[in-house]
Structure 1
Amino acid sequence: MMSFYLSLVCLLISFFFFLVFFMVSNRFMMDREKSSPFECGFDPENSARIPFSMRFFLLAVIFLVFDLEIVLLIPFVLYVGVSKSFGCLFTGFCFCMILFIGVLYEWWEGSFNWIY
């Protein structure tokens, strides 16, 4: 029964904060600067069809992919230290080789070059 009351209190507190933040945010919605779009340093008063460098986008995607791979690799390194099995070590080596081949492919394709 106690957990029901605790849940009810948490629900009421969160609803109260929702209402307070909703009322405060409506007051600032009419501000022109806050409601105008701002994308990557472009002036929001110009046309939205301004071309941007596709290399910047490609490098950002490459960064996200390899950043995700590193996040997957860190727990694996900790597991290899605990388990010390050959199969786990071989799997980690194959994973690192796939990453290395991906970096070489991106380098060969020229995705890391900013100057043509």
Structure 2
Amino acid sequence: MNPEFKTIFYSTLLGVGIILLLVSISFALGNSRIGSTRPDSEKSSIYECGFDPFGKIRTPFAIKFVLVGILFMIFDIEVSFLFPWSIVFNQLNLFSFWVVYTFLVILSLGLAYEWLKGGLEWD
């Protein structure tokens, strides 16, 4: 066996061994074996955001929450694309520069559209 593959094999074997050891210890010492297996009323209660829920579950809510979430995801993805690009910026050619520039223009147009539609204003 190749020495490089030996290291990978032994690391994988060690990782699987640790996982199996931790799972077996958790299974042996878990609460399901000690005491009652029936959860009490406090554990079975519905809990969300620190308070008991009220109202019907299918009530409409403001779409602004979704728009702000989508906007956050867009700019989060933008940062995850721009960070590696900025690391190797000196090694890239002119085509790579224009591809990222086009990407930023499209995102800026999306931000301008969101801004003009009032998606950034919180009531």
TM-score, normalising length from structure 2?
Answer: 0.66
Q: Percent identity?
A: 30
For residues 80-104 of structure 1, the C-alpha deviation after alignment (integer angstroms, 9 at most, x for no partner) is 13x1421111111111111111101
| Long gaps (5+) in structure 2 | 1-8
Change (3 A) 1:5 1:101: closer
Is the 1:38–1:44 contact (alpha carbons within 8 Å) kept by the matching residues of 2?
A: yes
Alpha-carbon shift at residue 44 of structure 1 (Å): 2.1
Query: Partner of 2:31 in structure 1?
Result: 24
Query: Partner of 2:119 in structure 1?
Result: 111
| Long gaps (5+) in structure 1 | none
User: Partner of 1:113: helix, strand, or coil?
Assistant: coil
Alpha-carbon shift at residue 6 of structure 1 (Å): 4.6
Query: Partner of 2:6 in structure 1?
Result: none
Cα RMSD between the aligned structures?
3.3
Task: Give the count of matched residue pairs.
Answer: 112
Query: Partner of 2:89 in structure 1?
Result: 80
Change (3 A) 1:69 1:5: closer
Aligned partner of 1:43 among 24, 28, 52? 52
Is the 1:36–1:44 contact (alpha carbons within 8 Å) kept by the matching residues of 2?
A: no
